[in-house]
Amino acid sequence: MQYKRILLKLSGEALMGERSHGIDPNRIAEYAKDIKEIVAFGVQVAIVIGGGNIFRGVAAASNGMDRVQGDYMGMLATCINGMALQSALEDLEVPTRLQTALKIEAIAEPYIKRRAVRHLEKGRVVIFGAGTGNPFFTTDSAAVLRAIEIDADVILKGTRVDGIYTADPEKDKSAQKFENISFKEVLSKGLKVMDMTAFTLSQENELPIIVFDMNKSGNLKKVVKGEPIGTLVNL
């Protein structure tokens, strides 16, 4: 395997499957199966999931709700998704730990870097919930921050699109896919990979990002093996 320790970033919307909201049990079971496959090869896996399938603070703020309150509600939504993925993994007998940036002792451990790394070294999948624990920061930022803290080799951003394109391939059929692209090119071309805070943090710490289609079974294993799946963003 090319990557020994990874940070897998999943959007909350990815868990909806074909539904309009909530969690699709079939989709989350497929993800768990793919994750189990790479754990069996000795890859250390940490995961950050968004909460957009349940609640999104920015959307709530646009409708008049206090932004800080909305963001905290979004953090709790990521914990719900984390618990769902934890359950799906444990159904497949994959050992897991859920750590959260907000203290919720009844369901999760508080985030402690050394403890998280120790879990990874013991072969446990570590799911990070509640984002960074601070409002105004996205789960993209949380993913990059945790990846840096645990010394991950790469951030794997699993989406429903198979990489980064010159335009939205779902809207523009002439959009061209990038196999490899630098951080500077992404910025100069105005391409959307992550929010600016997260992307800049990744660039400053020379942490590569791979954007790939998580909904195609087997892709996660191919990415970890170093096969040219998706788009690699590097220096």
Distance of CA 129 to the CA centre of its chain: 11
What are the two backbone dihedrals, phi and then psi, of residue 41, each rounded to the nearest 5 degrees?
-90, 5
Look at residue 61 and tell me whether its pLDDT is greater than 80. Answer: no
**Average pLDDT over every residue of 130-155:** 97
Tokens of 187: 């910025």
Contact present, 208 and 232 (Cβ < 8 Å): yes
Look at residue 160 and tell me whether its pLDDT is greater than 90. Answer: no
Contact present, 181 and 210 (Cβ < 8 Å): no
Element spanning 48, H or E: strand 44-49
DSSP 54: T
Look at residue 60 and tell me whether its pLDDT is greater than 80. Answer: no
**Could you tell me the sign of the dihedral formed by the alpha carbons of 126, 142, 12, 4, in that order?**
negative
**Average pLDDT over every residue of 90-101:** 98
Write down the pTM of the prediction: 0.95
Domains, the chain, ordered by start:
5-234 (3.40.1160.10)
Contacts of residue 194, defined as CB under 8 A and 6 or more positions apart, other chains included, come to: 138, 140, 144, 157, 202, 209
Token pair 């497929």: residue? 30
Q: Which of 212, 217, 218, 215 is nearest to 230 (CA)?
A: 212
pLDDT value at residue 98 = 98
pLDDT value at residue 21 = 87
Q: Write down the mean pLDDT value for the chain.
A: 95
The whole-angstrom separation of Cα 205 and Cα 146 is 12
Residue 173 — pLDDT band, cuts 50, 70, 90?
A: confident
Look at residue 218 and tell me whether its pLDDT is greater than 80. Answer: yes
pLDDT value at residue 51 = 94
What are the two backbone dihedrals, phi and then psi, of residue 97, each rounded to the nearest 5 degrees?
-140, 135
**Average pLDDT over every residue of 119-126:** 98
Contact present, 11 and 77 (Cβ < 8 Å): no
